[in-house]
């Protein structure tokens, strides 16, 4: 939560113990609510929530890369495809004549997919190390087109654009995250695929979140920020610039790979795009960029809020549209959930860039600072 | 500390609310001994529509939906199906697979089946769900690759068979001969790949030199492709593309002085082409489809057209009679399920497999769903653009089936 660049004046003076507890308690409360939600929400809303979570995992990776290490990347969608494809191939059934499968345990396949995405990120690191800013952005964009081509060409891996291929249902130590297996009830609610996948995604998101927080609060994060702010100064201080840069790219790719695995599990299918706009297309890269800008570059919790907005809004609006009969206009001039959400997050980006470059995270920080000042009863 | 207390209170409150548990599907048997399940009450049968009213296929989606609605009005006026009124539950996914995936669990418990499922990316993403929930759905996508799913009911023939029939028509009319060079432009994906499969099959049978050009759905200027075809001396161009791309090809075909016949699958044409820059170049286009154009001079099509004009103001397209026909087929299946005294989802699926002669008053060729993996029909109409006709098309050859199409084996045919 702490701004990477600002040393917040608040942190200089430790607030009182009761206040110090507030933040962990709030996080805990949020977790409790998230754990309880499947007992109250219908499957469609859980599906929308899962979509936000997979966005969150990807956005956390990207915010570390752009916000902490200062490398603009538009290749996120490519690593999503890499992760999704790796998982599907590793866990796919062996002996299928049309597509390649290695028949690994899905849990191992998930780890393997993250590892493969990391290696691909490392492979791109020499390029990322030499370029900066918009040049790197454009260079990384080429990966998305490479992904589009490979997705279409490598039919034995991806299943091709015509039909795609279904991924193996996820299971962990023999427990299936689908409607199969033991029938479990919790407080009278049967836990079926939607609920199980919700808990799976929640666990993955929490792990991703905690690891990222650890990374940016530790040496790694300090090295990234040093490189971001001034490469020469960083190397004088003994930071290996090339290594830090490569590391940031690899970590971010790992996160995108995990988000890719979540994507194929969420869709129940791996289907490479037919054009450059699609599940793994430019629009996805840009959506992730929107998430991290709205949330505040470099802020992990900001990335969560950004994902909530960018991935969640179209979904939630569509659900309300079907429920309450909103936006039922048709044809060219119609306001549709997708259109409205584009307006909203487009406007959010403009507002953030104009008025609060620190994004929603900075606004949040300001509010907690306000709370502190009012509580400590002294004006600072 | 106060806040802590408040939070614990909130948490306990949360736990005290009743959970969502205990919704079981309304199963049972009515007075007439008909078993019912999800989407069926004593007075109503609900069918789902997942369409695109706002995305790239909004014109088609709207047409099909209006066709569905017209049929529902008709059947309800006649007393409904199985003593129940038919109701449609509609959602708009805007041709986005992620939206469709989220909307599906919301609509699924309310419906007996889907009278319309538009878009191949959406159909692909929902394939598993349909099998898990045992829901019969009629996709507005005619790829024979979908036929490995026993819950998908494709009303009409498939893209590959359309191409085969269409090519045989060109050959019959003397526009192409064995050994000619023919160009095929197709969108990479389910739609294009399936059309190409048919063209390849026919090319093999008749020794055609097929020049394949793969494009993406966002390529809207195809002049350079046509220029290349001109250099290769093609005798005909085959299209498995979007209407915008069709316009580009036809305009280039005329402008470059190539002027060869152009044959397209059923989705390549939209009446808006008549008011596009390609309007003067449409005369070379032949469209193959197993459902009639809006203006067809068969009684049923005219009846639908009249009702359409009474009810709606939008310019009609071929989606309208198709939408009506699909609903008509659904009606046939429902009647059979009713006769079997089983209006559950399993009952509908069983009834679909027994349906060997779904009649739609010639809106679509007669359909036979009893052979797993095979298209329900192999007959097509050939139509040409005609600005004077309602719906922008008139047909030039009534239903027929080429011998090559009869012998062709679809990818999942048993």
> For A104-120, what is each residue's pLDDT tens digit?
999 999 999 999 999 99
Comparing C-alpha atoms, which of A154, A151, A147 is closest to residue A282?
A147
CB within 8 Å of B67: residues ≥ 6 apart: B304, B308, B319, B320, B321, B322, B323, B324, B325, B326, B327
Report the gap between the CA of B164 and the closest CA in chain A (Å): 19
Q: Does A253 touch chain B (CB under 8 A)?
A: no
pLDDT tens, residue by residue, B180-224: 999 999 998 889 999 999 999 999 999 999 999 999 888 889 999
Contact A40 B58 (CB under 8 A): no
Q: Does B152 touch chain A (CB under 8 A)?
A: no
Q: How far apart are CA A327 and CA A340, in angstroms?
A: 9
What was the pLDDT predicted at B278?
Answer: 92
- Chain A, residues 134-163, CB within 8 A of chain B, namely 152, 160-163
Q: Which of A19, A159, A330, A339 is the best residue to mutate to test the B interface, defined by the most B CB atoms within 10 Å of its own CB?
A: A330
CB-nearest partner of A274 from B53, B54, B189: B189
pLDDT tens, residue by residue, A22-34: 888 888 999 999 9
Q: pLDDT tier at A333 (50, 70, 90 boundaries)?
A: low
Contact B93 A318 (CB under 8 A): yes
pLDDT tens, residue by residue, A130-141: 888 899 999 999
Q: Mean pLDDT, to the nearest integer, of B360-365?
A: 84
Q: Measured between beta carbons, which residues in chain A are less than 8 angstroms from residue B7?
A: 25-26, 29
For residue A334, what is the nearest residue in chain B, using CA coordinates?
Answer: B54
Q: Name the H helices within B340-398.
A: 345-354
Report the gap between the CA of A45 and the closest CA in chain B (Å): 7
User: What is the residue whose two structure tokens read 């005619």?
Assistant: B142
Residue B397 clears pLDDT 60, i.e. is over it: yes
What was the pLDDT predicted at B3?
Answer: 46
Q: Is residue B101 a contact partner of residue B108, using CB atoms and an 8 Å limit?
A: no
What was the pLDDT predicted at A133?
Answer: 85
pLDDT tens, residue by residue, B3-53: 444 445 445 545 555 666 544 445 677 777 888 989 999 899 999 999 988
Q: Is residue B159 a contact partner of residue B186, using CB atoms and an 8 Å limit?
A: no
Q: pLDDT tier at A193 (50, 70, 90 boundaries)?
A: confident
Q: Which of A322, A328, A329, A341 is the best residue to mutate to test the B interface, defined by the most B CB atoms within 10 Å of its own CB?
A: A322
B38 vs A341 pLDDT, higher one: B38
Q: pLDDT tier at A334 (50, 70, 90 boundaries)?
A: low
Please report, to the nearest 10 degrees, the dihedral formed by the alpha carbons of residues A82, A134, A242, A122 taken in order. 10
What secondary structure does DSSP assign to A189-216, as a single string?
EE--HHHHHHHHHHHHHHHHHHHHHHHH
Comparing C-alpha atoms, which of B240, B98, B280, B341 is closest to residue A311?
B98
What was the pLDDT predicted at A341?
Answer: 78
Q: Which residues pair with B214 in a beta bridge?
A: B186
A-B contacts at Cβ under 8 angstroms: 152
What was the pLDDT predicted at B6?
Answer: 46
What was the pLDDT predicted at B111?
Answer: 95
What was the pLDDT predicted at B151?
Answer: 93
Q: Is residue B138 a contact partner of residue B76, using CB atoms and an 8 Å limit?
A: no
Q: How far apart are CA A105 and CA A123, in angstroms?
A: 26
Q: Which of B1, B2, B14, B20 is the best residue to mutate to test the A interface, defined by the most A CB atoms within 10 Å of its own CB?
A: B20
Q: Mean pLDDT, to the nearest integer, of B356-362?
A: 82
Q: Which residues pair with A172 in a beta bridge?
A: A175
What was the pLDDT predicted at A16?
Answer: 58
Token representation of residue B390: 């309602």
Give Cα A358 to chain centroid, integer Å. Answer: 19
What was the pLDDT predicted at B19?
Answer: 65
Report the gap between the CA of B126 and the closest CA in chain A (Å): 8
What was the pLDDT predicted at B253?
Answer: 96
CB atoms within 10 A of CB A98: 11
Contact B105 A44 (CB under 8 A): yes
What was the pLDDT predicted at B159?
Answer: 95
Q: Which residues pair with B186 in a beta bridge?
A: B214, B240
Q: Does B2 touch chain A (CB under 8 A)?
A: no
Q: Does A229 touch chain B (CB under 8 A)?
A: no
Residue B56 clears pLDDT 80, i.e. is over it: no
CB atoms within 10 A of CB A320: 13
Q: Is residue B237 a contact partner of residue B229, using CB atoms and an 8 Å limit?
A: yes
Q: Is residue B89 a contact partner of residue B155, using CB atoms and an 8 Å limit?
A: no
pLDDT tens, residue by residue, A90-105: 999 998 888 899 999 9
Q: Is residue B396 a contact partner of residue B384, using CB atoms and an 8 Å limit?
A: yes
Average pLDDT, chain B: 89
Comparing C-alpha atoms, which of B222, B221, B234, B241 is closest to residue B287?
B241
pLDDT tens, residue by residue, B66-99: 999 999 999 999 999 999 999 999 988 888 889 9
Comparing C-alpha atoms, which of B241, B145, B166 is closest to residue B208?
B166
Give, in order, the Cα–Cα distances in Å from A348 to each of A74, A289, A291. 20, 12, 10
User: What is the residue whose two structure tokens read 């130590």?
Assistant: A173
Contact A21 B4 (CB under 8 A): yes
CB-nearest partner of A268 from B98, B107, B125: B125
Residue A2 clears pLDDT 90, i.e. is over it: no
Give the percent of chain A with pLDDT over 90.
55
pTM, two decimals, is: 0.87
pLDDT tens, residue by residue, B127-155: 989 998 999 999 988 999 999 889 999 99
CB within 8 Å of A169: residues ≥ 6 apart: A106, A176, A177, A178, A180
Report the gap between the CA of A274 and the closest CA in chain B (Å): 6
What was the pLDDT predicted at A179?
Answer: 79
Q: Mean pLDDT, to the nearest integer, of B327-337?
A: 94
């Amino acid at each position: 939560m702490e701004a990477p660049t600002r040393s917040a004046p608040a942190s200089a003076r430790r607030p009182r113990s009761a206040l110090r507890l507030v933040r962990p308690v709030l996080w805990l409360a949020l977790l409790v609510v998230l754990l309880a939600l499947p007992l109250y929400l219908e499957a469609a809303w859980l599906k929308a929530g899962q979509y936000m979570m997979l966005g969150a995992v990807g956005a956390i990776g990207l915010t570390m890369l752009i916000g902490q290490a200062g490398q603009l990347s538009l290749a996120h969608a490519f690593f999503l495809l890499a992760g999704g494809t790796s998982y599907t191939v590793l866990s796919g059934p062996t002996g299928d004549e049309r597509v390649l499968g290695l028949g690994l345990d899905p849990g191992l396949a998930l780890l393997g997919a993250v590892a493969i995405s990391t290696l691909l990120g490392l492979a791109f690191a020499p390029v990322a190390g030499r370029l900066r800013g918009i040049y790197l952005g454009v260079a990384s964009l080429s990966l998305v087109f490479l992904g589009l081509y490979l997705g279409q060409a490598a039919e034995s891996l991806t299943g091709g654009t015509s039909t795609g291929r279904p991924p193996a249902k996820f299971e962990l130590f023999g427990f299936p995250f689908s409607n199969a297996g033991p029938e479990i009830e919790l407080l009278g609610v049967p836990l079926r695929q939607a609920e199980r996948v919700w808990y799976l995604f929640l666990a993955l998101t929490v792990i991703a979140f905690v690891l990222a927080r650890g990374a940016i609060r530790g040496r790694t994060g300090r090295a990234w920020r040093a490189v971001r702010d001034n490469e020469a100064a960083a190397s004088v201080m003994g930071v290996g610039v090339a290594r830090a840069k490569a590391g940031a790219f690899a970590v971010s790719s790992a996160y995108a790979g995990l988000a890719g695995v979540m994507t194929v599990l969420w869709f129940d299918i791996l289907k490479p795009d037919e054009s450059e706009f699609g599940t793994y297309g430019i629009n996805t890269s840009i959506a992730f960029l929107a998430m991290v800008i709205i949330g505040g570059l470099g802020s992990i919790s900001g990335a969560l809020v950004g994902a909530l907005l960018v991935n969640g809004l179209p979904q939630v609006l569509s659900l309300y549209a079907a429920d309450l009969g909103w936006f039922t206009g048709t044809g060219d001039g119609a306001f549709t959930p997708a259109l409205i959400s584009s307006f909203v997050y487009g406007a959010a980006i403009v507002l953030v860039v104009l008025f609060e470059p620190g994004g929603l995270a900075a606004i949040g920080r300001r509010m907690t600072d306000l709370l502190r000042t009012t509580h400590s009863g002294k004006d600072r | 500390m106060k806040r802590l207390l408040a939070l614990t209170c909130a948490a306990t409150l949360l736990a005290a609310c009743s959970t969502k548990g205990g919704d079981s599907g309304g199963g049972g048997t009515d007075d007439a001994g008909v078993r019912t399940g999800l989407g069926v009450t004593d007075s109503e049968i609900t069918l789902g529509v997942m369409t695109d009213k706002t995305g790239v296929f909004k014109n088609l989606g709207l047409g099909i939906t209006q066709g569905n609605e017209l049929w529902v009005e008709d059947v309800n006026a006649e007393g409904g199906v199985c003593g129940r009124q038919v109701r449609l539950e509609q959602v708009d996914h805007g041709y986005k697979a992620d939206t469709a995936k989220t909307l599906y669990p919301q609509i699924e418990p309310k419906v007996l089946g889907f009278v319309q499922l538009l878009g191949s990316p959406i159909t692909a993403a929902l394939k598993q769900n349909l099998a898990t929930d045992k829901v019969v759905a009629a996709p507005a996508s005619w790829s024979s690759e979908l036929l490995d799913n026993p819950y998908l009911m494709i009303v009409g023939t498939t893209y590959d068979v359309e191409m085969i029939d269409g090519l045989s028509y060109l050959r019959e009319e003397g526009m192409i001969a064995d050994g000619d060079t023919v160009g095929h432009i197709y969108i990479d994906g389910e739609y294009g790949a399936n059309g190409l499969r048919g063209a390849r099959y026919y090319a093999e049978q008749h020794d055609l030199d097929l020049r394949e050009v793969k494009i993406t759905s966002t390529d809207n200027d195809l002049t350079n492709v046509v220029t290349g075809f001109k250099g290769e001396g093609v005798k005909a161009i085959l299209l498995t593309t979007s209407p915008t791309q069709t316009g580009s090809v036809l305009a280039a075909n005329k402008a470059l002085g190539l002027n060869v016949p152009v044959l397209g699958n059923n989705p390549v044409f939209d009446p808006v082409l008549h008011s596009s820059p390609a309007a003067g170049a449409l005369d070379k286009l032949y469209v193959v489809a197993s459902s009639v154009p809006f203006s067809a001079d068969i009684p049923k099509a005219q009846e639908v057209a009249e009702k359409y004009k009474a009810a709606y103001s939008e310019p009609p397209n071929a989606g309208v009679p198709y939408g009506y026909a699909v609903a008509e087929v659904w009606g046939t299946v429902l009647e059979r399920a009713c006769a079997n005294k089983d209006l559950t989802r399993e009952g509908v699926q069983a009834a679909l497999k027994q349906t060997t002669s779904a009649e739609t008053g010639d809106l679509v060729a007669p359909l036979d769903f009893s052979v797993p993996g095979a298209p329900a029909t192999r007959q097509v109409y050939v139509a040409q653009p005609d600005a004077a006709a309602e719906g922008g098309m008139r047909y030039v050859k009534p239903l027929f089936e080429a011998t090559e199409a009869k012998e062709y084996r679809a990818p999942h045919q048993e």
